[in-house]
Amino acid sequence: MIAQPNTPIQLADARAVIGELVELLRPACERIEIAGSVRRGKPEVHDAEAVIIPTPDLLPLTDTLIEYGKAKYALYGEKRTKRWGNNYRGLLFGGIKCELFMTNAESWGWQYWLRTGPGDANAYIMRWLGLSHVKAPVRFQGGYGWYSRNWRHNGKAWVAEDKQRLRIASEEDLFAVLGMPFIPPSERTEMMYRKLTNKRDYKWLDNYLPYFAVGAHQPHLIGQRNISHYFDGDDEGVVESEPDKRWRAERQYNAWLTDPYRGSWEAWKQRCGEFL
């Protein structure tokens, strides 16, 4: 099955192709997951995406796929240019355009959410964060999430002298720092986000300490009570992020989405979830 540019591809076909590519690349990845419209379960898709925490072997492996004809460069725009950098690569594999987005553990949840889409829903969240009355303590810049209670717009961008980088290790973390419940990929729409954010007094987290990136702590950003907990070794009341546990939960959910005989999520999790 070879898809022509902009030709819709049946979900099952796209899922099989990107699944094969993911398994080829997995030995060179700390983590790799299918994203995009395939993950959302859209009946017809135009391409496929994967988000990756790479090892040093990944880029040479993708070069080898091209060299030996297993894949081809994807070409973009009127000038038919390739996109083959260290953080993003586009290739044709199994006749489908597949895009690989590289990230790291601190930004995994943000990139996984971003690359899962859909684009219009993501764009709404970015616009909403920029509304002055929302008073959002979180911004996303340079591939990372950032926290401050003192954001200001300088005419070009949102800036804060005391901004703190966040560790967003899972999509659960991403939704948590946005003050939202976890939304399954198939339910992520602009309308869903509008319903969640259409509140006069939006409730943000009281404590962002568990999401501060290691080595980037700025104690003056948080209350003295939380500072004493963090620095005196007494972690009572401080909920630490559990990325491994959350990654496992995401892997279970992704496996459920791709199981044609899955049934309900709860029944599937009891039957199969323990093996992942």
pTM for this prediction: 0.78
**β-strands 29-35, 48-54: how paired?**
antiparallel
pLDDT of residue 218: 38
DSSP SS3 for 257: helix
Q: What is the pLDDT of residues 15-63, one digit of tens each?
A: 999 999 999 999 999 999 999 999 999 999 999 999 999 999 999 999 9
Domains of the chain (ranges, CATH numbers): 9-102 (3.30.460.10), 108-236 (no CATH), 242-276 (no CATH)
Let me know: does 199 contact 267? Beta carbons within 8 Å. Answer: no
Q: For residues 194-204, give the mean pLDDT.
A: 89
pLDDT of residue 250: 61
pLDDT band at 273 (very low <50, low <70, confident <90, very high): low
Which single residue is written with the structure tokens 């209350």?
Answer: 223
